[in-house]
Structure 1
Amino acid sequence: MWKLKSLKSPVQTIVLRRLSVGDSRLSQKHDSKKSPVKQNESFMANIFRRSFVPKQVFPYPDVLSLEEKESTGSLIDPFERFFSDINDAAKSDQAGKTDEKTLSALWELGAFAIQVPENFGGLGLNNTQYGRLCEIVGANDLALGITIGAHQSIGFKGILLYGTPEQKEKYLPKVSTERVYAAFALTEPSSGSDAGSIRSRAVKSADQKYYVLNGSKIWISNGGIADIMTVFAQTEIVDPKTGEKKDKVTAFIVERSFGGVTNGAPEKKMGIRASNTTEVYFEDVKIPIENILGEEGGGFKVAMNILNNGRFGMGATLSGTMQKCIEIATSHANSRVQFGQKLKNYGSIQEKLAQMSILQYATESMAFTISQNMDGGSQDYHLEAAISKIYASENAWYVCDEAIQILGGMGFMVETGLERVLRDLRIFRIFEGTNDILRLFVALTGIQFAGSHLKELQSAFKNPATNLGLIFKEASKRAASKVGLGGSDLSSHVAPELQPYAKQTAECIDLFGQTVEELLLRYNKNIVNEQIILNQLANAAIDIYAMVVTQSRSSRALQLDLPSAQHELNLTKALTIQASERAIKNLKNATSSHNRDLTEKMSTIAQTVCEKNGVYSTGVIDI
């Protein structure tokens, strides 16, 4: 068998670096001389290896205590009043910045220190509480949301996750009560998605007391206002066993007061104009050795886990944006009369509003399933968080675009505010991991997990006498799923009304596992280069996760007899019908010869376009 980690393709360089730090338990190897490795509980990782592990999705997680729910509720009203009474998103967009009075009011609310422990001056909220406040921000001002998120979701998140007690004692009060902004400085001109190729370098001094940093970063949110930054640079690391020297990325806490830290002018951007985005330059910056964040040479792990940890917040934020767009569109549909009828009575408008609502419900369900799993202590959420980010960013764009369409010419006008939201939304498919790279991350992470399991099974066949249990279990599972007698069964986890839809989802899950295995056997390690197929797998995975979390959430709503229960069930049923069809189509395409022919044609066309530097066809006057 094979290991993906042994591959040396460009795709592996960019993507597998990320997945290798995303889940330390991917391979699930067992060494009898060591204590057993804890089982990976990720629902999505396990369906890649044809294993149904429902713990993270059924029943719908509900980890907040009554006290936590009440404390969150007490914050919602002040946050909403801030956006209605103080903040002016349109004014900030036109000015290209948020005024100090507005930011000061936000500091007073504690919005810049939501997850900082109370003993360091913060609100001390958990991920789910943070996500609920993110929804309010997303419904009102995405640019301001970037300022807040760049500060705490990634800016000082590394200190929360990896900081020593001394680092936390020194810096967390600054970023919470002393109103010091933070930033996350990773991206460089030569390293976007391939974060491991950064060129900024930090050299250790002869006396081993500090590092000297030189280099530059681009597109840094809060880059012009931050006085504390999490910065990543190449450092020379000596292997203690071999003495070999290697360059590895190390993370540092850098203060502007160290000297040598400057920034360029604010960037002119399509959207999120009120957020501060600049280049940042480091010239002979002396960083004390105690400001290393995590371990020397462990910076890539720090960077990726910071991003992984914060991605659920994007889903929560954008579910709020989608909610606001739906409210605006619904208000217009309820009042606007055309051809003697209100817009809400026309089937085409009803279809748009329904589709927008389905996508918002699934986006919100994903975000809070993940956040509550995190709050429940799970470490196996990286696949789901990546899926949530992709789903939220793409569907928020769709929902806003459809809201504009419902409003017609009025939606195109600045006064309505939707054109600003649409501009602001475009960046979310790019930053904190482009959706293209994250799709490969989802597919390859799962494939690596499945591949390790197939290797384990192959090893079992070498010594069948001592591994009969494993062999029979897997053989039974495969035989049953192929003849439709077994496989995944969601029936005991969902409301009776959802049974037929749960069956559809289970069929998708079983086909998914079969498809992964077939692709592994067909392509072996070369699967890493089949990006179109990997995208089809990722898209099927995304649809499966959407079906599962909505079925779980709506079942809970019915069980609790919530007023919205029947509506939530209808949203779930409609989503399942659509998502199951897409998932099956993607999975069948991934293994079909017809689709392979199309893939080759697309590749040839793209190569020709690149060779000709654009469109290459007969000109009109030549016809």
Structure 2
Amino acid sequence: MASSTLSPTKHQGGSFLLEPTTSDEIFTPEDFTDEHRAIARTTEEFWTKEVAPNVEGIQHQEPGLAVSILRKSGQLGLPAVVIPEKFGGMEMDLTSAMIVAEGISKDGSYSAWHGAQAGIGALPLLLFGTEDQKQRYLPKVSTAEMVAAYCLSEPQAGSDALAAKTRADLTPDGKHYILNGQKMWITNGGAADLYTIFAKVGGEKFTAFLVERKFPGVQPGAEEKKMGIKGSSTTAVYLDNVKVPVENVLGEIGRGHIIAFNILNLGRLKLGPFAVGGAKEVLRASIKYAKERKAFGKSIAEFGMIQHKLAEMAIRLFATESCSYRVVGLIQGELEGFSWSQPDAAKTMLKAVEEYAAECSFIKVFASEMLDYVVDEGVQIHGGYGYHQDYPVERAYRDSRINRIFEGTNEINRLLATGMLLKRAQRGQLGLVEAVKKLQAEILGGPSLSTAADEDSKLVENAKKVALLTLGVAYQKHMAALEDQQEVLAGITDISMNAFAMESALLRTQKLAKQHKGENAQDMTAVFLREAMEIVESSARTVLAACSDGDALRMNLAVLKRFTKFEPVDAIATRRRIAARLLSADRYSV
């Protein structure tokens, strides 16, 4: 497995709230190896040659077109970047898979085909399959000879996947399971040759099965009529007395939730690079249009409001890119020296991803909401033309919306992120209690001198303190019942998530500065930190008002004011500088 350029220093999941991190300890796109850059070039060449000329055909679901392109990508190994060579894969590192995801995501429909094949289609088999199962199926999935799909959702079981009604009953001779039920919203469903289907054995034990399309009783439904990603295949899958050999049970009986939740973590992480790639393409198109469109006798790119939009698109993109690859680097650091030939290699991979499950939820939420902002402003820059199907931003606007629903809704992920941090603390894996007590002692001691070396570092340090403050106040109010306070949990997640993004952007900028690079990054970070701190303050006010009152609330708000005050920068002038660099480069640049 290819290795990333990483510091040997490791940080526990969630520990960013408790301890400082230096710029040398994080992974950024500037740290890509020659091998990483090579796979990026291969992906770009594939996109330009095979996908770009066929985007309209894919959108109109020309029969067999998307599958034929997917199989061409299989010849290059793009759906099988992390799969071991012995199963037809490239056996590269996780970073490489994320680079491919970013490069393939210029169109939402094709990226859905690729993402389902390389991610939820292949990974359950790779990580949970027996040697026999992998030998039988993985080489064909690697090349897309077999199109793969993942069947978890049902008409009445979306976010609550464990409420599934699909049954699996063992035959009297013990050789097969009989599956009956219906799956819903299945990506690649209409073209898949192999389905990973979740069903309850005996109506109780949630279990995964490998089900071939050719098994009698398997019937994909008609293509769904969707708002966006119209060129992707999304169908129901009907199961009518489908006989599945017992050898095709994936993982353990009654342990299907382990597969489902771990695959979701990886999907949430990968949504970061997918959103980054899509946003870069929309920003590029918006820059091009703004330079070409004339109004009032000059290019609209010369107008301050348009420059504001372009700069803000880049700022949010930079923050998302920074925290996405930071998490990839954290996981890759846990996998130092990893090889698929090692005993329990799959367990090692799963453990590394699970360590940063909360951060994966951050990425999913932050990236999907960034992309929604970027496509919205892209349409606005295009004006009436942005509403016309002849312009790609119209399609990007519709395609983006599903990302806040994919991989667990953003609402579910907001609940999960803080919930997972609290559970880690309860298990003794994260010193939240000690950190909250330390902060409370600092507060009672009066104003303290920050250890931060500069104003930007102080903003990051204080955002983390606000996260700990709200966690402490909320837990003191609700104790174990905090898990039922959804709005409070979501507010705390917004604080922690923004603190993580703030630190990621700042550390990347500091790392660039050491190389005398990143002039645009410095300006983008300066604006982003202050915008994010305003979100931190607003979210904290809501949480504190819900969890305290009277004198206690007044004291908490006074503490919050101390932590969230900052010296503003001239954001107008800074955004104009950012926009000028973007317009000069004709694309996103740091």
TM-score by length of 2: 0.82
Cα distance, 1:271–1:457 mapped onto 2, change above 3 Å: closer
Alignment of 1:109 onto 2:76: yes
Corresponding residue for residue 27 of structure 1: none
Alignment of 1:420 onto 2:390: no
Residue type matched to 2:476 in 1?
L
Cα distance, 1:323–1:533 mapped onto 2, change above 3 Å: same
Q: Which of residues 266, 273, 280 in structure 2 aligns to 1:323?
A: 280
Corresponding residue for residue 569 of structure 1: 522
Q: Is contact 1:156-1:184 (8 Å) kept? A: no
Residue type matched to 2:442 in 1?
A
Cα distance, 1:98–1:554 mapped onto 2, change above 3 Å: farther
Cα distance, 1:557–1:508 mapped onto 2, change above 3 Å: same
Give matches, 1:205-604, under 5 Å.
205-236=171-202, 247-376=204-333, 377=335, 378-379=352-353, 380-451=355-426, 476=438, 478-480=440-442, 482-483=444-445, 491=453, 499-562=454-517, 565-592=518-545
Cα distance, 1:427–1:185 mapped onto 2, change above 3 Å: same
Q: For 2:210 and 2:20, locate their aligned partners in 1 and report how far apart those are by CA, in whole Å.
A: 39
Residue type matched to 2:192 in 1?
A
Cα distance, 1:445–1:317 mapped onto 2, change above 3 Å: same
* Residues 224-245 of structure 1, C-alpha deviations (whole Å, 9 max, x = no match): 1111111111124xxxxxxxxx
Q: Is contact 1:45-1:445 (8 Å) kept? A: no
Task: Measure how far apart 1:46 and its partner are.
Answer: 6.0
Q: Is contact 2:148-2:192 (8 Å) kept? A: yes
Structure 1, unpaired ranges of 5+: 1-38, 237-245, 459-469, 492-498, 598-623
Q: Is contact 1:311-1:386 (8 Å) kept? A: yes
Residue type matched to 2:150 in 1?
F
TM-score by length of 1: 0.78
Corresponding residue for residue 613 of structure 1: none
Q: For 2:414 and 2:486, locate their aligned partners in 1 and report how far apart those are by CA, in whole Å.
A: 9
**Aligned partner of residue 211 in structure 2, secondary structure:** strand
Q: Is contact 2:179-2:241 (8 Å) kept? A: yes
Q: For 2:436 and 2:537, locate their aligned partners in 1 and report how far apart those are by CA, in whole Å.
A: 23
Cα distance, 1:409–1:70 mapped onto 2, change above 3 Å: closer
Residue type matched to 1:479 in 2?
A
The answer to which of 209-218 and 104-113 deviates more is 104-113
**Aligned partner of residue 14 in structure 2, secondary structure:** helix
Q: For 2:12 and 2:161, locate their aligned partners in 1 and report how far apart those are by CA, in whole Å.
A: 25
Cα distance, 1:596–1:437 mapped onto 2, change above 3 Å: farther
Alignment of 1:170 onto 2:145: no
Corresponding residue for residue 191 of structure 1: 157
Cα distance, 1:371–1:484 mapped onto 2, change above 3 Å: farther
Corresponding residue for residue 130 of structure 1: 97
Q: Is contact 2:70-2:144 (8 Å) kept? A: no
Q: For 1:79 and 1:184, locate their aligned partners in 2 and report how far apart those are by CA, in whole Å.
A: 25
Residue type matched to 1:580 in 2?
M
The answer to which of 190-199 and 334-343 deviates more is 334-343
Cα distance, 1:487–1:544 mapped onto 2, change above 3 Å: farther
**Aligned partner of residue 283 in structure 1, secondary structure:** strand
Alignment of 1:200 onto 2:162: no
Cα distance, 1:566–1:70 mapped onto 2, change above 3 Å: closer
Q: For 2:64 and 2:451, locate their aligned partners in 1 and report how far apart those are by CA, in whole Å.
A: 51
Cα distance, 1:488–1:214 mapped onto 2, change above 3 Å: farther
Q: For 1:456 and 1:311, locate their aligned partners in 2 and report how far apart those are by CA, in whole Å.
A: 25
Alignment of 1:93 onto 2:93: no
**Aligned partner of residue 237 in structure 2, secondary structure:** strand
* Residues 151-191 of structure 1, C-alpha deviations (whole Å, 9 max, x = no match): 12101211111122222212111112361100000000110
Residue type matched to 1:500 in 2?
E
Alignment of 1:156 onto 2:122: yes
Q: For 2:140 and 2:477, locate their aligned partners in 1 and report how far apart those are by CA, in whole Å.
A: 55
Corresponding residue for residue 559 of structure 2: none
Residue type matched to 2:205 in 1?
K
Count residues with an aligned counterpart: 522
Give identity over the alignment, percent.
31
Cα distance, 1:46–1:114 mapped onto 2, change above 3 Å: closer
* Residues 94-128 of structure 1, C-alpha deviations (whole Å, 9 max, x = no match): 34666155344333333332332222112223221
Corresponding residue for residue 242 of structure 1: none
**Superposition CA RMSD, Å:** 2.9
Q: Is contact 1:447-1:516 (8 Å) kept? A: no
Q: For 2:459 and 2:211, locate their aligned partners in 1 and report how far apart those are by CA, in whole Å.
A: 52
